[in-house]
Chain A
């Protein structure tokens, strides 16, 4: 009987204590309590970049060994090529080089995109570090592709300061390649001019 009364008293004390405590959650810190954190594609791609670049380099095959008609949504490739032309559009936001891969004799046209704005989702689509299921929706998955393209610019292309002087030079490229019709588009993860 006595124990029961003490129990009830403790319970009353706990209820009184808890109801006095109001937890104030500052705006923007909800994630610390709910575990739902606003998605940041840039942060996510930044920490994944080294792994993804290494994966693409590791999987890359010589472009001359591929059936280019089978490139589809993307494959990891590597090759040596000669720069045929440097093109700059949209006030320098759309730079690219057309190249001729060494030992290649087919009819495909090869372009390497050099940003600063990049097209497509090839880097995202050839990597396996992250998959669609890791993201909440299509838009986040799409932002992730774009953020990876920004990593390409920051880590691979921008440091080289490429301009029209690269015409005629040899270049070693590793990257993700896609094809539409007879045009191959390469997004580089490693690149060096000789």
Chain B
């Protein structure tokens, strides 16, 4: 990846990428991959498909780069693709009846050693499990709002739903998340 491209803005990189400069597109991938992967991980949990779907997000964006008019921020646009692909993946899993395995509350294992300090990996696992216990629609709003840090208004725009619906889903999601975390052994 060319070092000199790292300092360019998103708009400039997009212009270069549209002109066929793949190095510029690689900088975009590098810049937003963590945000995209965090969204997908929040939606699907830590599974092998996260990386594949993450790559698919950028490939789809590359193919449709001319469709991006800059109305939304690039991160918002990529996150929207990530959410849609994650929902598709969940739909596929549902069709294969795998989702019940992932979502059944009984299947949530307890954290074995509660006296151990919260290491980052355990922490991530805990969050993943808590998120996976939420309903699909609630998960999308909570991932965008709490994991990705988008504002409620941005979440509403991204999911194309009224602000009131987002607020009520957030409220339900927070309650369910709280319950799931307690069930998994997290105590405040």
The finding on whether chains A and B are genuine partners in a shared complex, rather than unrelated, reads no
